[in-house]
Amino acid sequence: MTRRKILLAVDLQKDFIDGALTVPDAYKVIPIINDIKKNFDLVYFTLDWHPADHCSFKSHGGPWNTHCVHHTAGACLPDSVFEGLKENQIRFILKDSISDRMEYGAFSEITPQIESLFTKDDEVVVCGIAAEYCVLETLKNLFRLSCKIGFTVKVFLKGTARFDSYDTVLAFMKENGIEEY
C-alpha cells in the first residue's frame, strides 16, 4: 500500500480563533497550516461539537465559556482552510458532543469506524488549537491508536496555538519518541 500523508488539524474553529474562547494568536496558525496542507493527501479536521447544555460550560458548572455549540457560527471553520482542497481529501471528526462528558481529544474511543481512517503505512501530522488541551489529548489518543495500527505520528508545532505553553506537548513527544514535522 502507498504511504499516505494525513494532516490532522485540531479544532480550527472560529470560537477558538476570535470568538468566545479565543486562544492567543490562534489566527496566526491558519495561514501556516494553509501553506503546508498542499503537501498532504488527506486533511482531517476535528471539531468541538458541543450541545448547548454541555458540562464544560461555566453556565453548567464547567471551566469554560460557552463555545463551539454545534450548528453555530463559532463552531465553523474559516473558509480559507478549505481552499485548494478537493472534497475527497477532507474528513470531519466530531468530538465532545455528549452533554455530560468532557472529551478534549478526538479518538478517545477506538472504534472500527475510527480505525478505518488510518492504515499502517500512513504518516499523520497533528496541528491545531489549543496545544495544552485538545491538541495534546488528541495526540495521546492518536498515539495509542498508532501503536495498535502501526502508522507514524508527528507534530507540526508551528501550526499549533497555545494558551500558555507547549511544555506538556513537548514532554509527551519526548517521552514517546514523536518527532516534530
Superfamily of domain 5-180: Isochorismatase-like (3.40.50.850)
State pTM to two decimals. Answer: 0.96
**Nearest one of 48, 38, 106 to 77, comparing CA atoms:** 48
Per residue in 91-142, pLDDT (tens digit) is 999 999 999 999 999 999 999 999 999 999 999 999 999 999 999 999 999 9
Q: Which of 34, 33, 10 is nearest to 23 (CA)?
A: 10
**What are the residue boundaries of the structural domains of the chain, listed by start?**
5-180
- 152-161 residue pLDDT tens: 999 999 999 9
Quick one: pLDDT at residue 1? 60
> What is the rounded distance in angstroms from the CA atom of residue 74 to the CA atom of residue 69?
7
